Structure 1
Amino acid sequence: MADLSTCPPLSRESVIEARARIVAHVHVTPLLTAQSIDSIASVPQSEEALKGTQWEGLPPANPRIHFFFKCENLQRIGAFKARGGFNSLLRYQQETLKDAEASKDWKERGVVTHSSGNHAQAVALAARDLGIKARIVMPLVSMPNKIAAAEAYGAELVFSGYTLQEREAAVSDIVEKTGARFVPPFNHPDVLLGQGTLGLELQEQARSILDQTPEAGRLHAVILPCGGGGLLSGVATSCIGTGIKVFGAEPSYQGADDCRRGLAAGKRIDRVRSLTIADGLRTSVGEIPWSVISDRTKVAGVYAVTDEQIKKALRIVLERLKVVVEPSSAVPLAVALFNEDFRTMVEREASGGVFNLAVVFSGGNINLDAIGDLVREES
C-alpha cells in the first residue's frame, strides 16, 4: 500500500479527508431503528437464560436501550470493507503516480491481499473500477458465496490455510513472484481511515434523527464487531472528541475473543485458531488497530458472546428488522442483549434514562442455504 511514512496521522481530520477521497465510490448506507428490538433489550434476562453462565444467581441488569442500526450490509460488495478497499487503492494510485519509475506497469503488477471474504471482494471491486490487476489469497474454509463474489469482480484467487500466518506466507510468495503491492485487510492506516468514514456518516444520521426529538438526547455509544480491528479502530478514530463511547464485540468460541483477552492481559494476542460461525472475525487484531483499541480514551471496552447467542441475535435481526446480515454482524447486538457485564455498564451509564446505542451491521454476505440452520430454534 502507500508507504507508511507518507500516511496521514490517525486522527478524525484524516478520516474526514478519506471520506472526501472515496465519496464517489461508496454508498451512504441507512441508519434504522426498531422499537421491537428496543423492547427486547430493555427487560431483564430470565433466570433460565443466565443459568450456567458466570452471572447465574446474580440480579439481572435492567438497562433501557434505544438502538440505531447502521446497515453496511447494504454497502457495495455487501460490507463496510468497500470503504477501506477504495481508500487504500486510491491512496496507492495517488502515491504511485507521483513517481515516474514506480508508475511503469503498476496496474499490471497490481495488488494482492488475503481475506476470508469481504476484504477480498472490496479489493477486487476497487481494483476492477480503477483498472488494476488483483490477486486474492483466501482460506479454503471461506464461504462459497464470498469466493464466488471475489471471482466475479475479476480477481485471481489463490487458496491457503485459514490462519493469518498461512495467508501471509501465500501473499509473500505472490509479491516476490509478481511485484504486486500488498493491501492489508486491516493493519494499515489507509484501511483504518477508510473504514472510519462509516463513523462520520453514523454520527450525522443519528444526530438528524435525535434532533427531531430533543428530549431523546444524544448518541451515547457505538458497538462494532472486532476481527482484525480495522473497523473498530477506524470508527473509534472518527469519534475522537465527540463524547461518543466506542465498544468492540467478539465471539468467544475457541478463543476468537483475542482482543478482549489481550486488553485484560495488557498485551496483543497475535494468533487465533477458531471456527466460530462469525467467520469474518476469525483473525487476530493487527498492530496498528491495536494501537488505537488499547487506548481506553478511544475504545472503552470489548465484550464477547457465544455462538449460540450470536445465532439468537441473528434470528432477531431477520425477524424484526427484515434485513439480511451475516453472523459477524449480529455479534454486537448479541452483546447488547446477552452480555450482562455490558448490560450492567449500560444501566449504570444511563442512570435510569435511555441509552442511545448504535450497532454496526458490518456485512450481509451470508450463504443463503445456511440461513435456516443458523437461525433454527432447538426443540
Structure 2
Amino acid sequence: MRRIAALLGALLRDWSRSRETVFFVVLFPIILLMIFSTVFAASAPSFGLVVQNQDVGTDGEATNLSATFVENLEGIDPLNVRHLDADRNLTEWSQEGDGDGSRVLVLPEGFAEDVRAQSGRVRIAIIRDTVRRVQDDLNESERATVQSGLDQADQQEVPANATGARLQFYAPPDDQSAAVVRGILSTVVAEFNQRSIGVEEPPVSLESGTIGSAGLTSTDYYLPAFIATLVLINGVMTVPGVIAGFHQDGTLKRLVATPLRKRDWIVANVLQQSLLALLLSGVMLVVAAVLFGVTVIPGPLSIALVLLGAIAFSALGMTLGSLLPNPDAASSLGGSIAFPMMFLSGVFWEIDIMPETLQTIGRLMPLYQFHRGLRRLMIVGTTDGVWPAFAMLGGMAVVFVALAVRLTRWRDFGG
C-alpha cells in the first residue's frame, strides 16, 4: 500500500501539470450543466403514461364513461399506457422503483357523474338557445310542448354550477417530453368533449402538475445526469489517452527497471482517476449551487456510488489504453464508447423516445444503472432499486481491473 500511495501522489501531480486535460475534464461537464439547465427541447414519437382511474363503482370496476376515456387513450399510437390501481397512494408510488420518473394521468372519483352533469347542463343550454331562436315560428301548442319538456329537464336537478371532471396530469420537473404528452392528452380530451356535446364549456378539462420531491428545481433533477456524465468522460475518454501516452513516451519501459509491480501501478492509476472524478463532482455541485440554487446534497451512499462508478469507468479506460499505444487513437476509441453510451442510456432524455431495440440496449448499459441509482439516492431519497447499480458497477470494476492487469504490456515491448 505504501508503494501505491506514493505512486498515487506522483500521478496526481503529473495530472495537474497537463493543462489541456484539466481544462477539458473540468470545463466540458460544466458546459453541459449550463446548456441543459437553460435550454430544453422535447420531441418524440412514443411516450409512456401511467393512468390511475379512481372512478370505480362499489364492485371495484371502472365506470363506463371513465373506462371509455381510458380506452381512447390506449388507442393513441404515441402513448404507451400502463395502469395504476385506484387505491394506490400516488406520492408513495412515485418514490418506488416503477414510479420514479413516470408521467401520470389521474381520473378523479366521480368522473362519470361530473361528465354527465356538465353534459346535461350544456345540452339544456343548447336547447333553450335553440328554442329562443325559433319560438316565433312555433304556434301556442308547440310552445307549450317545448316548455313542458324544458320544465321536466329542470326537474332532473342538473347542477347549475357544474364544472365538469378535472383530470390531473403529473410529470417530473426534468421530463422534457411532458409538454408533448400534455398536447396529446388535450387532443383526446377535446374529442371526448365533442362526443359529450360540450363545446364552449367542456365537461372534461385537463390540469397539470409536477410529481416528485418537493422544492427541487429542474437542475436538481439533472444533477445526477451531469455527475454520471462527468465520471464517464473522465474514465472512458481521458484515461485511455493518458495510459497510451505512458506507452508511447517510454514511461512503462522505465518502470520495468524498478521494483514497482504492474498491479500496483494499475491500481494506483485507477484510484487517482477515481479520486479526481469524485473531486470534480464536488466542483460541479458547487457550481450548480452558486449559479442555479441547487439544494441537493449527496449522502454517503451517493458518494459511495459515485466513487464506485469512477473506479469502474476508470478501469475500463485503463483497459482501452492498454490496447492502443497511440494517445489520440486510444482517446478516439474511448469516445466511440462513451458518446453512444451517453446518448442511449436515458441520461439527458427519456429512454422511451427511442425504438424498442435501442431501449433494450440502453437499459443494459452500465451508465443507465449508474444514473438511475444516483437519481433515486439524490432526488427520490430512497435506496429502493439502487442495488443493481452497485452490483453492475462493482462487477465491472473487478472485470476491467483484471483485464487491465492482463493486457498491459509490462515487460514485452515490441520494438
Q: Which structure is larger by alpha-carbon Rg, 1 or 2? A: 2
TM over 0.5: no
Of Structure 1 and Structure 2, the greater helix share is in: 2
TM-score by length of 2: 0.29
TM-score by length of 1: 0.31
